[in-house]
Structures are given as C-alpha cells and as structure tokens.
Amino acid sequence: MCVQPGYAQEKVDMVAIEKIRQKGLNNSKVIKIAFQLTDVAGPRLTNSAGYFRAANWAKNELTKWGLTNAVLEPWGEFGKGWELKKSYIALTVNYYRPLIGFPKTWT
C-alpha cells in the first residue's frame, strides 16, 4: 500500500505579483521617505526639534496621500527636549590634537 500526501495548492496570480514587483522597483518612495525622516529631520530624540520635524513631515505626507485624520497624538509629559547644535573636543596638554566624540544625550 502506497500513501501519497495531498497538498492543496493556491493558484498564484503571476500578473498581480509582477505588478507589485514593478511598483516596488520603479515607483517606490521608500528611499525618499527614509531620507526625509533621517537625513533631513535629523536625530529624533523624544521631545527634540528633530522629532517634531519628522513627526510633522510624516503627518503632512499622510494628509497629502489622502488620510483625513492624521494628527500628532499627545502622550504625556516628558520634560526637556535635547538637540546637539555644536560640539568640539580637543586634547590641549603636551600637544594639541582634536578628538572625535559626542556628548551623551541630555548632558
């Protein structure tokens, strides 16, 4: 006696798959969105200027796409925001040498 396993196979819609593939390869907005949220808005620490730049850009973009109720929801008190505008570190004793470093957030 030979037992053959049975498989129910769903018919694959290759036309739909090709449309999705072409949209992703030729009309994707992923790179533009990532650029806006990272490079343009900058660091997005809670309650920072970069966070609000990114959040407002996303809200406005969703509104442009047709979402009618895009809003920034308040979630509570956080405290002070933080944004690094300029930082410079240098070794000055024995000889001068610039150092690469960044201050810790909220310090």
Q: Which pLDDT band, with edges at 50, 70 and 90, does 62 fall under?
A: very high
Give φ, ψ of 57 to 5 degrees.
-60, -45
> What is the per-residue pLDDT for 3?
67
CA distances from 12 to 18, 23, 25, 72, 92 (A): 11, 18, 20, 40, 68
DSSP three-state, residue 91: strand
pLDDT tens digit sequence for 12-53: 899 999 999 999 899 888 999 999 998 998 888 888 888 899
Mean pLDDT of 45-70: 92
